[in-house]
Amino acid sequence: MDPTQKAAVFLMSIGEESASEVLKHMGPKEVQRIGIAMTTVKDLTKEMVNAVIGEFMTTVNKQTSLGVGVDDYVRNILHSALGEDKAAGVIDRILLGGNSQGLESLKWMQPKSVAELISNEHPQIIAIILSYLESDMAAEIVTEFPEKVRSDLLLRIATLESVQPAAMKELNETLEKQLKGGSNIQSSSIGGVKAAADILNFIETSAEAAIMEKVKEVDEDLGQEIQDLMFVFENLMGVDDRAMQTILREVSTDSLLLAMKAADDELKEKIYANMSKRAAEMLRDDLEAKGPVKLSEVETAQKEILSIARRLADEGQISLGGSADEELV
């Protein structure tokens, strides 16, 4: 079982009330991932459940109480050191959004609903909202807008370096009216070329190409800079063997099979080399036997694998290498 499935098994074993209390402390993406895992883990033996609980207990026994209540501790020391006004913006960035309940609530909504909610706002306000959200969700929201609007939004995101207090005040007031939630959002550094590239990574390939063409028509250099930071399936050639093995452990066989239909021979060999001999042989046979598939299905599978790779990189489990990752020293 992968870590998400283990978490699902553990939560299912502790009872509904306790599990619901744990889920309250998770973000929307984590809740969705674990919820899906709960529906897929079946035919569990008593030994499997005991193994998961045993692993959890071993991990807990290695922990200390240091870190408990750290959010309140950080707030208190920063207020004391910087004063309330200066500390507020820093705290919001450190504690993943801090008091931005209005923006946080968008993460729990359907992308189509968010697009409808913000569609009549100024494009710069929309760009700020998209920059704040997770890249995959922002990508889904972008595709809900007319094609002529998408490239403008990506350009605004790419050139967004910091948000002025006046813009944040406008955003705050808008969200208060439409979501009926109060917040005290401070000036923050969000957006930028990397944010635009991350969002494009999650957009369907044909739409991505159309957006990039429009962006380059407006600003060739900026368009190239965004493109250089995008992480595409072929970039997996740049990850080391340990990282590739970590990625493959979380990828389903069906997705891998589809993704490899359009992969070049060099990347295929790298994937085979990081699997067991038996698994590699079975995958080769399945790939040879599989008939033609739609290009859109292949692209969807590749983006799913890239999403897993980026998540693992964000969690610090792997380094992606190449232009889409930080330089190693």
Which residue range(s) make up the domain with 146? 100-229
Between 206 and 85, name the one with better pLDDT: 206
For the chain, what is the domain count? 4
Q: Residue 247: what pLDDT?
A: 92
Enumerate the H helices of the chain as residue ranges: 3-13, 16-23, 28-40, 46-61, 70-82, 84-94, 101-106, 111-118, 123-132, 135-142, 147-158, 165-179, 193-201, 205-218, 220-229, 241-249, 253-259, 265-273, 277-289, 295-314
The answer as to whether 134 is a domain residue is yes
Residue 293 covered by a domain: yes
DSSP state of 65: S
Judgement on whether residues 40 and 87 belong to the same structural domain of the protein: no
Domain membership of residue 321 (yes or no) is no
Does residue 117 belong to any structural domain of this protein?
yes
Q: Tens digits of per-residue pLDDT, 134-143?
A: 888 898 999 9
Q: Which is more confident, 162 or 218?
A: 218
CATH number for the domain that contains residue 247:
1.10.220.30
Which has the closest alpha carbon to 102: 168, 183, 27, 167?
A: 183
Alpha carbon of residue 202 to chain centroid: 9
Single out the residue of 287, 262, 289, 292 nearest to residue 275, CA to CA: 287
pTM of the model: 0.46
Read off the pLDDT of each residue in 269-276 and give the average, rounded to a whole number.
92
Say yes or no: 194 and 247 in one domain.
no
Among 34-43, 218-227, 280-289, 318-327, top mean pLDDT goes to 280-289
Same structural domain, 119 and 214: yes
Report yes or no on 300 lying in a domain. yes
- pLDDT, position 91: 59
pLDDT digits (tens, 9 = 90+) for 102-125: 666 777 778 888 888 888 888 888
In a domain, 327, yes or no: no
In this structure, the answer to whether residues 140 and 182 fall within a common structural domain is yes
Q: Are residues 164 and 192 located together in one domain of the fold?
A: yes
| In a shared domain, residues 157 and 261 | no
Residue partners of 45: CB distance under 8 A and separation at least 6? none
Q: Has residue 273 got a pLDDT over 90?
A: yes
Report yes or no on 107 lying in a domain.
yes
